[in-house]
Amino acid sequence: MGVVSWICSVVLLILAIAIIVVVLLQEGHQANLSGAIAGGADSFLGKNKARTLDSFLAKCTKWISIGFFVLTLVADFIVAANL
């Protein structure tokens, strides 16, 4: 394996860990359901703050996943070229 292959492997590992962390940090969709049934007393600012964090994490997930996919294809082409 060449240096480029090793670099791709390390970056892929970092992106994989980043995807796992970002997905685990996101709030589940079922978490809001209990507040609606029980009449949760969240303030307007608290709800908007959570939405902003959730939207940021969703954007991060999207971009990290795209980077992971593209880098996987690049690494595959590099390995195939070395065979």
Residues 2-46: tens digit of each pLDDT: 888 889 889 999 999 999 999 999 877 665 555 556 555 555 555
* Full DSSP string of the chain: --HHHHHHHHHHHHHHHHHHHHHHHSPPTTHHHHHHHHT----HHHHHHHHHHHHHHHHHHHHHHHHHHHHHHHHHHHHHHH-
Provide the token pair at 61: 């997930």
Distances, alpha carbon 12 to alpha carbons 22, 49, 65, in Å: 15, 31, 11
Please state whether the predicted TM-score (pTM) of the whole model is above 0.85: no
